[in-house]
Amino acid sequence: MARKRVEFHEEASLEYEAAFAWYLERSSSVASRFATELDRAVDAIAEAPQRWPANSQGTRKFLLQTFPFALIYRDSAAIIQVLAVAHGHRRPGYWKERL
């Protein structure tokens, strides 16, 4: 099966950048680990987007292992769209307006 392209919603990109900057202010090595873990998550989602269960809105959630973030994404025929890089302890479901 061919690997699908992963695109980030504009607001999801901003969330990633804000989280990366927050970690970078504290430690460049932690920021680097955050970026690496997020890259691995995107690769895993691109390889097998159906692996994680779908919820009622048709979105799926990939939990990062080391950091308190989840990638909320939806899988369409052409692409995978990351809707949010959501912090696990802040504003649950805020990203639903992006559907």
Complete domains list, the chain, with CATH:
5-89 (3.30.2310.20)
Whether the pTM exceeds 0.85: the reply is: yes
Q: What are phi and psi of 64, to 5 degrees?
A: -70, 150
Q: How confident is the model at residue 1 (pLDDT cuts 50, 70, 90)?
A: low
pLDDT digits (tens, 9 = 90+) for 3-24: 889 999 999 999 999 999 999 9
Q: Report how far apart, in Å, the C-alpha atoms of 23 and of each of 32, 33, 67, 73, 86 are.
A: 9, 10, 10, 23, 15
Burial of 51 (0-12, 13-18, 19+ CB in 10 A): exposed
Tens of pLDDT, residues 75-91: 998 999 999 999 988 77
Task: State the sign of the Cα–Cα–Cα–Cα dihedral 44, 48, 51, 54.
Answer: positive
